[in-house]
Amino acid sequence: MEFDESNIEFVQAGPEMVLELLAEKNHHDTSAAVAHQNIAAQLWPHLRALEYATGQLLAVGEDVDLLAGASPDSPRLADSIDDYEEGELLAAHMPHTDQPPHHGLRLRSARNHEVGAADLVLANLPLADTRALTRSTKTDMAMMHHGVIRDALTWLRPGGLLVTTAHRQLLEGTDAQPRRSIAKHADLIAAVRLPASALRRALLLDSPVDLLMLRRREPGHPPAGLNFIERSPVHIHDAPDMLINDCYAIAPWAAAGNIVPDPIDPDMTTVAPMGGDFGRTLSEALATHTDIAIDDGLYAKQRPARRARPAPPQNTPHNPSTGPEPHAL
């Protein structure tokens, strides 16, 4: 159902559903192009530091051409996540410069053989900054973003990197299963929570957005990177401790602002901007995450696959009919 005052079903909907439909309409009607250019400007130097500098790039979602570093003056190719629902992916060779705009970037429709071997995937997930007010919408949002992330991870080679926006509900939902599912296949090497209204300044578009870097794990390697399956208490100034995802509880500096109680959803935290542009705080958080990932060997270089260790022998009772029991070593 869409926001439509002439639709009888809309008129009869509850107030929370009406507000969610209004948030979705405002999301589609309001541009976030300037914010996405800002994110790209902070992101790309750190992708270079992680050595994602050559190979194949895939991209999907609204403004993802801007996140890829395309010039704002170039023809727009990615205006809506609906492209993904139709199976449309954009592809390009990795740009050769650290800082956008990448004037030599040539985005085009991806070919079948390019899906599954990409070095870098950029995904801008739908409705990441919209208010989710009902329990069903919160669950649907987490599951939708989980599904796209799981798909996007299959587009990567082992050791490849997914950079994606996500609704906070993915990391903050009480059901940890979507996070557990992602953690089976990828390591979270960076997570930065952007402040409320960072992308768009419009009614009901003030949910903080997570910018995540997920590295597809090579076969046989144990999980590494940031813990993000569970939630833990975090200290809130002038308020009781509140639950937040472990990746922010351990590293509250990765929130690009002050962590405060959400004024509309009292069981959740939000990020209040510290004034001015969030770009500097985003860059500083990404720099720290990047240094840690490099120290841990979690960058572009693909680690050799490890063979699974054989299971230890099982202790079984000795059968006297087979002869005397051997002496222990």
Average pLDDT over residues 138-148: 95
Question: Residue 178 is which amino acid?
Answer: P
Q: What is the structure's pLDDT at 122? A: 97
Q: β-pairing, 186-193 with 209-216?
A: antiparallel
Mean pLDDT value across the chain: 87
Q: What is Dmax (Cα atoms) for the chain? A: 89
Average pLDDT over residues 279-308: 94
Of all residues in the chain, the percent with pLDDT exceeding 90 is: 66
Which helix (H) or strand (E) element contains residue 148? helix 135-154
Listed by start position, the domains of the chain span 32-223+275-304
How are the residues of the chain apportioned to helix, strand and coil, as percentages rounded to the nearest 5?
A: 35, 20, 45
C-alpha to C-alpha distance for 172 and 192, rounded to whole angstroms:
14
Please work out, in degrees rounded to the nearest 5, the angle formed at the alpha carbon of residue 202 by the alpha carbons of 199 and 205. 60
Q: What is the structure's pLDDT at 75? A: 72
C-alpha to C-alpha distance for 160 and 121, rounded to whole angstroms:
8
Average pLDDT over residues 25-44: 94
Angstrom distances, CA of residue 22 to CA of 7, 188, 198, 202, 210: 14, 33, 19, 11, 22
DSSP for 185-199 reads: TEEEEEEEEPPTTSS
Measured over the CA atoms of residue 23, residue 28, residue 34 and residue 36, the dihedral's sign is: positive
pTM score? 0.87
C-alpha to C-alpha distance for 289 and 193, rounded to whole angstroms:
13
C-alpha to C-alpha distance for 106 and 124, rounded to whole angstroms:
19
Cβ atoms within 10 A of the Cβ of 13, count? 16
Q: What is the structure's pLDDT at 307? A: 75
Measured over the CA atoms of residue 72, residue 64, residue 201 and residue 248, the dihedral's sign is: negative
Give yes or no for a contact between 22 and 2, defined as CB atoms under 8 angstroms apart: no
Using alpha carbons, select from 230, 211, 217, 236 the residue that is nearest to residue 289: 211
Kindly tell me if the per-residue pLDDT of 223 is higher than 90: yes
- pLDDT (tens digit per residue) in 180-195: 999 999 999 999 999 9
- pLDDT (tens digit per residue) in 229-259: 999 999 888 888 999 999 999 999 999 999 9
Kindly tell me if the per-residue pLDDT of 327 is higher than 60: no
Please work out, in degrees rounded to the nearest 5, the angle formed at the alpha carbon of residue 48 by the alpha carbons of 46 and 52. 115
Q: What is the structure's pLDDT at 314? A: 60
